[in-house]
């Protein structure tokens, strides 16, 4: 059976295939535990034996193999074992999804036939699909006035629309439903259908599992996850909110499912970090390695001086602000995962263990597949989704090594990776200089070089590091200054040899820039795009000035929708008055509850008095406030017109 | 081994001291006691440290071990063999385990302190700190030192205030 979905039932698991085919297997997996000194806990062990049955077993971890016990009992019992042993018991395989354990234990996976290679570049992904939509705006409306199914509008009363939707689903029997803002609308649709006694089978069994809403910190920012109703037997993707779907499409969701052994219903909702964690868990079960429930192993004891030396992160060569001609950007492909695999980095190998490291060995096939999809997507756009998923999983595989609850992570691995990356970048810089190149900028896994024998530099660097690189050639590139006048690490723009502009870190790229300001700055870049070399940029100064004047004078007639500022709020209460706080209050007054981590849009009505309105209520905007935003976007680009011209480039301080 | 934390407060081997103090006061433990370098000193921090960068200047020689989870803290404590063990309390470690875990850690700290001086420090106590401090031999609260108030300046301030109010 090609497994589309799975759900744990009492004493077993039900699997669903395409078209609604289903099969139940009896499965009650035990969890494992070890005790430092079992004799000290004889009474507890006897009690567990009498009550649940206790099977002595060998527990294999990535570090060692030791005597332990297998017990089929609840999570509560696991907690009691921990507490009664004075937190000396180490528990394994407790918080894994049973269907993942079952599949990995049998060498099977989801979205695949038995025996299929999980890392194949092409696989059967034919699914009966359907798209559902509610035309009303989510979050500020609890009323459904119009719906759409596969582009066909459904109107009428709510019972009529639900009945039509139910009939269409029954007739078409889709395997996968795409539904923008499904997580918001589903509870309303399902409860309304129940009240109206309409059999709405978005779930093939009529049952749903619930995912609770929560706000959490991720990579330094607060993120909000909407609660969700997850159907059984069918895959439902919230196409507006699913990161995996947005970044990698259905191909990515299904590939994530194949790699992790989790149903696409889940992989569409999980973050790349959770996906890489689930993938590592799957691989551990497949290899007979116990997955620790708690993170017990701390970093080694070390003198403070060594901690200072180790804790440095990625390498940066700060650029001199200026515009440079004929520059090549050389990027190492998946540098951090390549280091993990190439250097055999894993918690047990960093701790001094020999052999193939677990982390390195499980990431190797993912890296191998990424290198294939990266090549394939250049020829066939259908591989772009898979490539994007693998890119995200590999990016997070590095960060995840430093995550405190990572099952197979360790801060020592994290530090070893960044140490290696620094050494690689320094060696690459030296190699570039030996090849007569001038290194203009470098950050973590990229170098910007000009002049000299660049092909030789690339060839020798790839040979020395064993890591593939990709190059982009610029006709000219501008490295912008920071407030103190020194070069910014991540703000630059330039014209590539194919004529396209590459822009990073400026207003046009930032998510909170209102469309009007973004469009203005993009207009500037369209003008600069015409310059063939740095020397020609000055010719555009007058046009840019004119564009700015037009943008300022056009502010009063700008559409309100173009002035919406979109920001993710990290909190809902602010100690001091601010625009975000005012916007959150306005949302509250409009009956929309804002949670920390949510993205909200607002229009500033009065910048001085810090008053903002939700977009749907805004009728006026403060031109002075938006003029400041325009000025900032303008000033961000302006340094390129003031730098002195040198024969090959022009720069402020070089 | 004995160190004088403040006048009349001396801490020695075999003591588990739970200390609540402003960061500046605690930093003095490191700056005013160069003799600490003679002992095996282990600094245990959590996910983040408010003191480590300042306490661990270039001349510092102590050992460091960071606990990112409450279970790692337990392992570190069980493996600690230093003469002085300084624990910078991090309440974020206890988010999942809660008070029962804090109590278990408090017991282990008390066991470690039979052969060492263990200092559990926080600038702001919380319920987890309180749970662990239940097992402490001494609970010490150090108030920030304030400059002696001069009567003359008070009079001047009052006079100034009165003048303003008069007008």
Q: What's the pLDDT at B145?
A: 63
Q: Does A80 touch chain B (CB under 8 A)?
A: no
A353-363: per-residue pLDDT in tens? 778 899 999 99
Helices A411-434 and A454-465, interaxial angle, to 10°?
150
Assess whether pLDDT exceeds 80 at residue A650.
no
Do A2 and A124 meet the contact criterion of CB atoms below 8 Å apart? yes
Tokens of B119: 């200092």
- Residue (of A414, A421, A420) closest to A299 by Cα position: A414
Buried b or exposed e, range A18-32, using 16+ CB within 10 angstroms: beeebeeeeeeebbb
Higher pLDDT, A222 or A194: A194
pLDDT band, very low/low/confident/very high, at A170 (cuts 50, 70, 90): very high
Residue A418: CA count within 13 A, CB half-sphere: 17
CB pair distance less than 8 Å for B42 and A301:
yes
CATH placement of domain A316-376+404-505 = 3.90.1600.10
Tokens of B81: 């063999």
Scanning every residue of chain A, which has its alpha carbon at the shortest distance from the alpha carbon of B68? A404
Q: What's the pLDDT at B134?
A: 96
B26/B20 Cα distance (integer angstroms): 9
Tell me the chain B residues in contact with residue A301 when contact means C-beta distances shorter than 8 Å.
Answer: 42, 63-65, 79
Residues 33-52 of B with CB under 8 A from A: 42-43, 47, 52
Q: Does A219 touch chain B (CB under 8 A)?
A: no
pLDDT, chain B, mean: 84
Tokens of A571: 């909190």
Q: Does A300 touch chain B (CB under 8 A)?
A: yes
A45/B47 Cα distance (integer angstroms): 35
Report long-range pairs for A139-142 (Cβ below 8 Å, ≥24 apart). Answer: A139/A184, A139/A592, A140/A590, A140/A591, A140/A592, A140/A614, A140/A616, A142/A188
Q: What is the 3-class SS of A195-209, one letter each residue?
A: HCCCCCCCCCCCCEE
Q: Does A308 touch chain B (CB under 8 A)?
A: yes
Assess whether pLDDT exceeds 90 at residue A147.
yes
Give the distance from residue A411's alpha carbon to the nearest chain B alpha carbon, in angstroms: 9
pTM listed for this prediction: 0.88
pLDDT, chain A, mean: 93
Tell me the chain A residues in contact with residue B73 when contact means C-beta distances shorter than 8 Å.
Answer: 298
Q: What is the 3-class SS of A311-330, one letter each residue?
A: CCCCCEECCCCEEEEEEEEE
Q: What's the pLDDT at B66?
A: 93
How many C-beta neighbours within 10 Å does residue A262 have? Answer: 27
Q: In what helix (H) or strand (E) does residue A554 lie, and over which residues does it extend?
A: helix A541-554
CB pair distance less than 8 Å for A295 and B71:
yes
Nearest to B64 among A86, A296, A304 (CB): A304
Tell me the chain B residues in contact with residue A410 when contact means C-beta distances shorter than 8 Å.
Answer: none
Give the distance from residue B96's alpha carbon to the nearest chain A alpha carbon, in angstroms: 11
Do B96 and B89 meet the contact criterion of CB atoms below 8 Å apart? no
Nearest to B101 among A87, A308, A405 (CB): A87
Tell me the chain A residues in contact with residue B47 when contact means C-beta distances shorter than 8 Å.
Answer: 404
Q: What's the pLDDT at A644?
A: 61
CB pair distance less than 8 Å for B100 and A303:
no
A352/A485 Cα distance (integer angstroms): 46
Dump the DSSP string for B61-122. --EEEE-SSHHHHHHHHHH---SEEEEE--GGGGTTTHHHHHHHHHHHHHHHTTSSEEEEEE
A651/A175 Cα distance (integer angstroms): 58
Q: In what helix (H) or strand (E) does residue A7 lie, and over which residues does it extend?
A: strand A5-9
CB pair distance less than 8 Å for A301 and B64:
yes
Tell me the chain A residues in contact with residue B72 when contact means C-beta distances shorter than 8 Å.
Answer: 295-298
A126/A18 Cα distance (integer angstroms): 9
A234/A183 Cα distance (integer angstroms): 15
Q: What is the mean pLDDT of residues A292-317?
A: 88
List the domain boundaries for chain A. 5-105, 129-286, 316-376+404-505
Q: Does B107 touch chain A (CB under 8 A)?
A: yes
Domain count, chain B: 1
Q: Does A305 touch chain B (CB under 8 A)?
A: yes
Task: Provide the β-strand partners of residue A177.
Answer: A130, A236
Three-state secondary structure call for residue A44: helix
Q: Does B92 touch chain A (CB under 8 A)?
A: no
Scanning every residue of chain A, which has its alpha carbon at the shortest distance from the alpha carbon of B106? A86
Domain of B81 in residue numbering reads as 2-166
Higher pLDDT, B31 or A230: A230
A601-630: per-residue pLDDT in tens? 999 999 999 999 999 999 999 999 999 999
Q: Does A411 touch chain B (CB under 8 A)?
A: yes
The CATH architecture to which A129-286 belongs is 2-Layer Sandwich (3.30)
Tell me the chain A residues in contact with residue B69 when contact means C-beta distances shorter than 8 Å.
Answer: 294-296, 404-405
CATH number at residue B41: 3.40.50.300
Tokens of A584: 């959150």
Buried b or exposed e, range B91-130, using 16+ CB within 10 angstroms: bebbeebeeebbbbbbbbbbebbeebbbbbbbbebeebbe
pLDDT band, very low/low/confident/very high, at A310 (cuts 50, 70, 90): confident
Assess whether pLDDT exceeds 60 at residue A40.
yes
Q: What is the mean pLDDT of residues A59-72?
A: 96
How many C-beta neighbours within 10 Å does residue A626 have? Answer: 24
* A·B CB contacts under 8 A: 63
Instruction: Suggest the residue from A34, A87, A90, A296 to mutate for an interface test with chain B (most B CBs closer than 10 A).
Output: A87
How many C-beta neighbours within 10 Å does residue A235 have? Answer: 27
Q: What's the pLDDT at B146?
A: 62
Tell me the chain A residues in contact with residue B100 when contact means C-beta distances shorter than 8 Å.
Answer: 83
Q: Does B76 touch chain A (CB under 8 A)?
A: yes
A616/A614 Cα distance (integer angstroms): 6
Q: What's the pLDDT at A235?
A: 97
Three-state secondary structure call for residue A210: strand
Instruction: Suggest the residue from B30, B41, B68, B83 to mutate for an interface test with chain A (most A CBs closer than 10 A).
Output: B68
Q: Per mean pLDDT, which range of A166-170, A367-371, A417-421, B50-54 is the poorest?
A: B50-54
CB pair distance less than 8 Å for B63 and A296:
no
Q: Does B56 touch chain A (CB under 8 A)?
A: yes
Assess whether pLDDT exceeds 90 at residue B34.
no
Instruction: Suggest the residue from A217, A298, A310, A413 to mutate for an interface test with chain B (most B CBs closer than 10 A).
Output: A298
């Amino acid at each position: 059976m090609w497994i589309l979905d799975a759900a744990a039932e009492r004493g077993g698991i039900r699997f669903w295939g395409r078209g609604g085919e289903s099969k139940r297997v009896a499965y009650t997996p035990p969890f494992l535990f070890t005790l430092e000194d079992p004799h000290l806990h004889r009474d507890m062990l006897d009690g567990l034996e009498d009550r649940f049955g206790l099977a002595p077993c060998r527990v294999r971890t990535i570090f060692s193999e030791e005597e332990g016990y297998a017990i089929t009992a609840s999570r509560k019992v696991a907690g009691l074992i921990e507490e009664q042993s004075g937190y000396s018991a180490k528990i394994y395989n407790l918080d894994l999804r049973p269907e993942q354990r079952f599949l990995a234990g049998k060498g099977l996976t989801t979205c695949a036939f038995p025996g299929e290679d999980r890392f194949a570049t092409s696989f059967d992904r034919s699914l009966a699909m359907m798209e559902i939509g509610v035309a009303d705006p989510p979050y500020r409306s609890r009323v459904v006035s119009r719906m759409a199914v596969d582009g066909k509008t459904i109107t009428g009363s709510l019972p009529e629309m639900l009945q039509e939707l139910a009939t269409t689903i029954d007739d078409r029997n889709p395997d996968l439903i795409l539904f923008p803002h499904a997580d918001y609308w589903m509870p309303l649709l399902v409860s309304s259908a129940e009240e109206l006694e309409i059999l709405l089978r978005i779930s093939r069994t009529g049952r749903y599992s619930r995912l609770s809403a929560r706000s959490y910190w991720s990579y330094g920012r607060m993120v909000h996850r909407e609660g969700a109703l997850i159907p059984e037997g069918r895959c439902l993707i919230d196409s507006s909110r699913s990161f995996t779907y947005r970044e990698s499409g259905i191909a990515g969701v299904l590939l994530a499912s194949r790699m992790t052994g989790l149903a696409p219903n889940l992989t569409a909702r999980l973050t790349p970090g959770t996906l890489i964690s689930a993938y590592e868990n799957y691989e551990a079960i497949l290899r007979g390695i116990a997955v620790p429930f708690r993170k017990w192993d701390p970093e080694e004891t070390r003198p403070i001086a060594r901690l200072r030396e180790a804790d440095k992160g990625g390498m940066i060569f700060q650029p001199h602000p200026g515009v440079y001609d004929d520059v090549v950007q050389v990027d190492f492909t998946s540098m951090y995962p390549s280091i993990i695999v190439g250097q055999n980095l894993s918690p047990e190998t960093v701790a001094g263990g020999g052999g193939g490291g677990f982390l390195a060995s499980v990431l190797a096939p993912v890296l191998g597949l990424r290198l294939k999809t990266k090549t394939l997507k250049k020829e066939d756009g259908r591989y772009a989704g898979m490539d994007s998923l693998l890119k995200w999983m590999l990016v997070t595989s590095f960060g995840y090594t430093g995550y405190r609850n990572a099952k197979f992570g360790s801060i020592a691995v994290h530090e070893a990776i960044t140490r290696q990356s620094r050494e690689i970048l320094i060696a690459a810089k030296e190699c570039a200089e030996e090849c007569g190149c001038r290194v203009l900028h470098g950050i973590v896994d990229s170098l910007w070089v000009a002049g000299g024998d660049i092909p030789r530099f690339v060839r020798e660097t790839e040979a020395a590091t064993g890591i593939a690189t990709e190059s982009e050639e610029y006709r000219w590139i501008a490295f912008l200054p920071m407030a103190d006048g020194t070069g910014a690490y991540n703000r630059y723009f330039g014209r590539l040899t194919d004529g396209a502009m590459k822009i990073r870190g400026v207003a046009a790229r930032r998510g909170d820039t209102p469309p009007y300001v973004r469009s203005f700055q993009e207009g500037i870049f369209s003008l600069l795009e015409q310059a063939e070399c740095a020397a020609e940029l000055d010719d555009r100064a007058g046009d840019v000035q004119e564009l700015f004047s037009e943008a300022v004078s056009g502010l009063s007639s700008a559409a309100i929708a173009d002035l919406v500022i979109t920001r993710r709020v990290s909190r809902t209460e602010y100690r001091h008055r601010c625009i975000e706080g005012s916007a959150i209050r306005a949302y509250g007054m409009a009956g929309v509850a804002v949670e920390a981590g949510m993205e909200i849009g607002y229009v500033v009505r009065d910048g001085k008095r810090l008053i903002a309105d939700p977009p749907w209520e805004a009728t006026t905007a403060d031109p002075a406030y938006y003029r400041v935003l325009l000025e900032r976007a303008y000033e961000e680009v302006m340094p390129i017109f003031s730098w002195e011209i040198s024969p090959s480039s022009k720069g402020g301080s070089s | 081994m004995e160190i004088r934390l403040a006048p009349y407060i001396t801490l020695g081997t075999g003591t588990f001291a739970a200390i609540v103090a402003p960061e500046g006061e605690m930093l003095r433990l490191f700056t005013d006691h160069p003799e600490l370098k003679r002992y095996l000193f282990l600094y245990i921090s959590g996910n983040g440290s408010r003191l480590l960068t300042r306490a661990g200047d270039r001349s510092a020689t102590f050992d460091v071990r960071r606990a990112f989870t409450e279970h790692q803290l337990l392992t570190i404590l069980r493996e600690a063999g230093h003469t002085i063990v300084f624990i910078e309390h991090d309440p974020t470690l206890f988010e999942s385990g809660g008070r029962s875990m804090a109590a278990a850690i408090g017991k282990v700290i008390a066991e470690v302190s039979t052969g060492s001086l263990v200092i559990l420090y926080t600038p702001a106590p919380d319920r987890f700190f309180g749970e662990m401090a239940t097992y402490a031999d001494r609970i010490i609260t150090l108030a920030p030192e304030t400059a002696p108030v001069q009567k003359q300046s008070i009079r001047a301030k009052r006079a100034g205030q009165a003048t303003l109010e008069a007008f």
